[in-house]
Amino acid sequence: MNPAYLRLSSVSFLYWFGTAACSYFTVLLQKNGYSPAQAGAINALNSAITIVATPFWGMMADKFRSIRSVLLGTMCIGIPLWVLTPVSLKIFLGPVALLFIMVPVGCFFRNPHPSLVDAYVVQRCARDNQTYGYVRLWGSISYTIASLGFFFILPHTGVEFAFYAYGVLCLPFILLMWNSRDPDAGAAGLPQTGPRKALTFRQMGFGRLFKNYYFITFLFFALFIYLPNTTSNAFMPYLMESVGGESARYGLITGFKALLEVPSLLLMRSLRKYFPLPVMLAGAAIFYSTEALLYANASSMTHIVLIQIFQGLGGGLLIGSSANYLYSLSPPELTSTAQTMNGALGASAAIIGNLVGGFLIVLVGIRRFYLIISGALLFALIFFAFTLFFGIKILNKKLPPAR
């Protein structure tokens, strides 16, 4: 097997295997008596921190030309704080639980990790002539394995076990990254090999990103698709409860979804021969909108599990195509910044979604909530199609070649 492919696949596999343990924060709050509105407010606070943290650490990775160092440094702080989350629920500083201090601080260091890992893998794939989708699918497979493991374990151990397990499951990934190398930035005329030197902010030239019409319009599209989709996922435990399901078995849902991302990622190379990246992004929005519409009519856990087919296929398309699309739109010395700005948009969407979603469920009920989600995703699709038409036909701006 190709050594470069094996190493990059291992990075993806090990990172997402450990990250599967992070899906249970809302379940933990629910089990401790927090209402949907309260859970939404806490998740929104965490997302507010992420909006600042994700592009900040991305810029630091580009500035110092070392995604690896930034990733390892933030993990040393973010992982222990997340592991202690269940403990912080039971410790009070006056009337306030320690949770409200530890979790936001931990989010500043932990929540940028997915974007940083994506930036690392995308850049290494480009350098080592590997297909990103083929590498990323191992993350979906490992996430499935870990999620199904939690599905069987947590009903017997309690949801707190997932937080403690996270600290252990991250150790192999940290060891692998410690023995890995950074992708070559090749920025600002610096040599392609040899010692890296930190770049000045002037050399980085952030303004180039914001003068790119397709980059800016993609960010808006991403916000419009992340907002309803992250809100849908955040309140899934309450939908499960409404059909008589056990929210502690949320791992079954997340694991099945991740498994169903694999076909889209596996077909990414073939799909790109016939469809441009924007078309695949639009396809993801169609799958997501259909999924939410079906949730509004789900009446059992079996229905919810089967509906994950649309979430999985849409997720695979979005993961594979958005990472490559952003890489094509961004200058070489700003690829980490571009990827993490996309991650920050996901956090921005989560703030609005978590704040509004909880109250919306109380106001209109869980069924109509998912009808609204479906309509919002349809709007994202229409918006993206219009911006592409306007850019190509009216502004006469050519799409950059895919990389």
Listed by start position, the domains of the chain span: 3-183+206-394
* pLDDT (0 to 100) of residue 289: 95
Q: Is the pLDDT of residue 171 over 90?
A: yes
Angle, helix 171-178 to helix 3-19, in steps of 10 degrees: 150
pLDDT band at 249 (very low <50, low <70, confident <90, very high): low
Looking at residue 98, the DSSP 8-state letter turns out to be: T
What mean pLDDT comes out for the span 122-140? 87
Collapsing DSSP to helix, strand or coil, 91 comes out as coil
Residues 6+ apart with CB under 8 A from 3: none
Q: What percent of the chain has pLDDT over 90?
A: 31
pLDDT at 21 over 70: yes
Mapping DSSP onto H, E and C, the string for 233-277 reads HHCHHHHHHHCCCCHHHHHHHHHHHHHHHHHHHHCHHHHHHHCCH
- Give the residue, 168 or 182, on which the prediction is more confident: 168
**pLDDT score, position 195:** 45
pLDDT at 84: 92
Interval 84-106: pLDDT, tens: 999 988 888 877 788 888 888 99
pLDDT of residue 188: 35
> 255 pLDDT exceeds 80?
no
Residue that wins the pLDDT comparison between 260 and 8: 8
Q: Give the pLDDT confidence score for residue 205 in this predicted structure.
A: 65
Q: Is 133 helix (H, G, I), strand (E, B) or coil?
A: helix
Contact 255, 146 (CB under 8 A): yes
**pTM as predicted:** 0.76
Give 97's strand partners: 92
Task: Render pLDDT for 144-156 as a digit per residue (tens, 0 to 9).
Answer: 889 888 888 988 8
* Mean pLDDT (whole number) for 36-53: 79
Residue 52's pLDDT is what? Answer: 87
CA-nearest of 325, 326, 321 to 283 is 321
Among the ranges given (22-26, 182-186, 372-376), the one the predictor scored with the smallest mean pLDDT: 182-186
C-alpha–C-alpha distance, residues 121 and 152, integer Å: 31
Mean pLDDT of 200-226: 81
Taking all residues of the chain, what is their mean pLDDT, rounded to a whole number?
84
Domain 3-183+206-394 has CATH 1.20.1250.20: yes
Residue 327 pLDDT > 60, yes or no?
A: yes
